[in-house]
Amino acid sequence: MDSSIRKKILIVDDVDLNRQLLAGLLEDYYDIIEAKDGNEALLILQEKTTDISLILLDMIMPGRDGMEVLKVMNENGWINEIPVVMISSETMPDIIRLAYKLGATDFISRPFDQVVVQTRVRNTILLYDKQRRLSELVAEQILEKTRNNSLLIAVLSHIVEFRNGESGMHILHINIITHLLLRTLIKKASQYKYLEKDIDIISTASTMHDIGKISIPDTILNKPGKFTPEEFNIMKQHAMNGALILDKVSFKKDEPLLKYAYEICRWHHERWDGRGYPDGLKGDEIPISAQVVSLADVYDALTSERCYKKAFPHKKAVDMIYNNECGSFNPILLECLRDVEDELPSEFNRFTWNHQVESDFSKIYEITSKDEEHPMYSQTFRQISYEHRKCNFFESLLDGIVFEYAYNPRMLKFRPDGAKKLGIPRIIADLDNAGKYPGFVDQENWEYIQKQFYSGSPDKTTFDIDADLTIDGKRTHCQISIQQIWNKTTDGKPIPVSAYGLARPKKGMEEK
């Protein structure tokens, strides 16, 4: 066996002969690390946690014994990463039960039997390897799901931008405000017993509040002046039309996401005093999910520029809401808005897709960390979360334009500072029409860049290309470094799922 890929086993025993006997039984198959007591073992674990595949731990030792080592491993979460096989000539049931309770995986008694030691060590390592691969797969799939959830919100925001002439950030703002209001509401009003997962579902459902607008003619949807009574009646139909669209979804009708989305679509224009539409509901007849999104929608409409109005300043907008100039709202929700109003501008400004995915993933980690049935999931999620934070930190130090290219759905995402330098939105979903952003890249260069995203292979996932981009208003010859991420379909066919890149002005090339 190649020593570079051999598993490492830590043998902890205060008797030299015992360590030598165990090492002799295992050294043909594994790399052996020895510790003569519990303190030395913990120092080694502190340094080499991720390198050690199994610990053979003597139960009775002077000073810090095996039980104390197990307690420290529990405190540090190491017990979920590394299997521990206890070694002892003691066979008292109470001691053995305590060892298992502290996380020991197996028990081997002295004198050692070669076949027993080798078989139990091999089986334990194989079992943990399988569990680790499974937990990594689950964690990566859930991370991909949170990423796809963010992509879905991005796509919806661009549909709104395209059809309604609104800011592409409108749907994202509704999501943020809804989340803040709900988290404040459950602290203020005990009758609303939402869990964190419910708040996340309602916030996601809020992104569909205006899907009924796809049925409204452009001449009305984007009219710059005041609606006639007839036009306003047509415009009001979008609430019911959105609900009907969702009601026609023939599968998963019992899913909470669809339930909340239906409530929000149909009733987010109802008002507390009964003067809203389409059904004239009053007070708590209006589902609280729709009430919250209604308030979020009005605030963002006031503070955003539209085809028919300029944006109001933040302070003016909240004062208009408190003064009932935009319809009446649940008094408890108005209290919630007062509590979070100072957070809203800063929340909007600090929003990034990395932050959103990291936030969603952290919530999932919080849930899995309490999963006693699958303790390894907690450690795997924690490691992946740490790695993503590390990547985000180093990414923030890069001198260049950082981006991500998604293959399905096709989408290009930029870090906020990079998008500002290029003079483009942070997310471009309409990738076939680069002419929409002529200051970013010309059509010929764009077609060349897109083609390169499909030129890699599972055997060649990193490559560089040259292209001209407009950075800070100046045409610049850049080197673009690309890293592809590949996966396999269910039939084993390799496909690219995303590509990450960094664009920098090429050294020695003058800006044009």
In angstroms, rounded to a whole number, what is the distance separating the alpha carbons of residues 203 and 499? 28
Q: Would the pLDDT of 211 be above 60?
A: yes
Q: How many Cα atoms sit within 13 Å of 112 on the Cβ side?
A: 21
Question: Residue 56 — very low, low, confident or very high, per pLDDT cuts 50/70/90?
Answer: very high
Statement to judge: residues 337 and 218 lie in one domain: yes
Mean pLDDT of the chain: 81
Q: Would the pLDDT of 223 be above 50?
A: yes
Contacts of 263 (CB under 8 A, 6+ apart): 287, 289, 290
In a domain, 334, yes or no: yes
pTM of the predicted structure, to 2 decimals: 0.51
In a domain, 301, yes or no: yes
In a domain, 250, yes or no: yes
Residues 111, 112, 114, CA angle at the centre, nearest 5°? 150
Question: Residue 147 — very low, low, confident or very high, per pLDDT cuts 50/70/90?
Answer: low
List helix spans (H) across 304-427: 314-322, 331-340, 344-350, 353-368, 375-397, 416-422
> How do 494-505 and 52-58 pair as beta strands?
unpaired
| Domain ranges, residue 256 | 165-344
Q: Would the pLDDT of 414 be above 70?
A: yes
User: Which of the residue ranges 9-18, 226-235, 405-414, 459-468 would you say has the lowest mean pLDDT?
Assistant: 405-414
For position 234, which CATH number holds? 1.10.3210.10
Statement to judge: residues 154 and 205 lie in one domain: no
Statement to judge: residues 69 and 35 lie in one domain: yes
Q: Please check whether residue 49 is in contact with residue 81, taking contact to mean a CB–CB distance below 8 angstroms.
A: yes
In percent, the amount of the chain with pLDDT more than 70 equals 78
Q: Please check whether residue 283 is in contact with residue 245, taking contact to mean a CB–CB distance below 8 angstroms.
A: no
- Which residues sit opposite 462 in a β-bridge? 483
Contacts of 308 (CB under 8 A, 6+ apart): 223, 224, 225, 226
Work out the angle between the directed axes of helices 93-101 and 66-76 (0-180°, nearest 10): 20
In angstroms, rounded to a whole number, what is the distance separating the alpha carbons of residues 512 and 504? 15
Statement to judge: residues 143 and 172 lie in one domain: no
In a domain, 117, yes or no: no
For position 461, which CATH number holds? 3.30.450.20
Query: What DSSP letter does each residue of 63-81 carry, written as one string?
Result: SS-HHHHHHHHHHHTGGGT
What average pLDDT score do residues 311-320 get?
A: 92
The residue among 12 and 512 whose pLDDT is bigger is: 12
Statement to judge: residues 392 and 405 lie in one domain: no
Question: Residue 232 — very low, low, confident or very high, per pLDDT cuts 50/70/90?
Answer: very high
Q: Would the pLDDT of 406 be above 60?
A: yes
What average pLDDT score do residues 309-337 get?
A: 92
Lookup result for tokens 């664009």: 503
Classify each residue of 280-308 as buried b or exposed e, where b means 16 or more C-beta atoms within 10 Å of its C-beta: ebeeeebbbbbbbbbbbbbbbbbbbebee
Statement to judge: residues 37 and 26 lie in one domain: yes
Specify the amino acid at residue 65. Answer: D
Lookup result for tokens 């180093």: 394
What pLDDT digit, counting tens, does each position of 479-502 carry? 999 998 887 766 778 888 888 889
What pLDDT digit, counting tens, does each position of 88-98 carry? 876 678 888 88
Work out the angle between the directed axes of helices 170-188 and 288-303 (0-180°, nearest 10): 130
Statement to judge: residues 90 and 153 lie in one domain: no
In angstroms, rounded to a whole number, what is the distance separating the alpha carbons of residues 458 and 171? 36
Q: Determine the pLDDT at residue 255.
A: 80
What pLDDT digit, counting tens, does each position of 57-72 carry? 998 898 889 999 999 9
Q: Which run of H or of E encompasses 463?
A: strand 462-471
In angstroms, rounded to a whole number, what is the distance separating the alpha carbons of residues 346 and 246? 33
What is the DSSP-derived secondary structure letter of residue 454? T
In angstroms, rounded to a whole number, what is the distance separating the alpha carbons of residues 95 and 110? 15
In a domain, 127, yes or no: no
Q: Would the pLDDT of 25 be above 50?
A: yes
- Count structural domains, the chain: 4
In angstroms, rounded to a whole number, what is the distance separating the alpha carbons of residues 252 and 246? 11
Q: Determine the pLDDT at residue 384.
A: 54
Q: Determine the pLDDT at residue 498.
A: 84
What pLDDT digit, counting tens, does each position of 154-197 carry? 565 556 555 565 545 677 788 889 999 999 999 998 888 888 77
For position 9, which CATH number holds? 3.40.50.2300
What pLDDT digit, counting tens, does each position of 436-483 carry? 676 678 778 888 888 888 888 888 889 899 988 989 889 899 999 999
User: Which of the residue ranges 34-48, 56-70, 192-206 would you say has the lowest mean pLDDT?
Assistant: 192-206
Statement to judge: residues 319 and 189 lie in one domain: yes
Statement to judge: residues 153 and 259 lie in one domain: no
Residue of 226, 180, 327 lying closest to 268 (CA atoms): 327
Q: Determine the pLDDT at residue 238.
A: 92
Residues 144, 150, 156, CA angle at the centre, nearest 5°? 135
Q: Would the pLDDT of 512 be above 50?
A: no
The residue among 100 and 348 whose pLDDT is bigger is: 100
In a domain, 145, yes or no: yes
Statement to judge: residues 413 and 390 lie in one domain: no
What average pLDDT score do residues 394-421 get?
A: 80
The residue among 445 and 85 whose pLDDT is bigger is: 85
Statement to judge: residues 173 and 224 lie in one domain: yes
CB atoms within 10 A of CB 105: 19
Q: Please check whether residue 80 is in contact with residue 373, taking contact to mean a CB–CB distance below 8 angstroms.
A: no
Q: Determine the pLDDT at residue 35.
A: 94
In a domain, 223, yes or no: yes
Q: Would the pLDDT of 153 be above 60?
A: no
What pLDDT digit, counting tens, does each position of 248-290 carry? 876 666 788 889 999 999 999 999 999 999 999 999 999 999 9
In a domain, 120, yes or no: no
CB atoms within 10 A of CB 199: 20
Lookup result for tokens 């509901």: 281
Question: Residue 386 — very low, low, confident or very high, per pLDDT cuts 50/70/90?
Answer: low
Q: Would the pLDDT of 82 be above 80?
A: yes
Statement to judge: residues 215 and 232 lie in one domain: yes
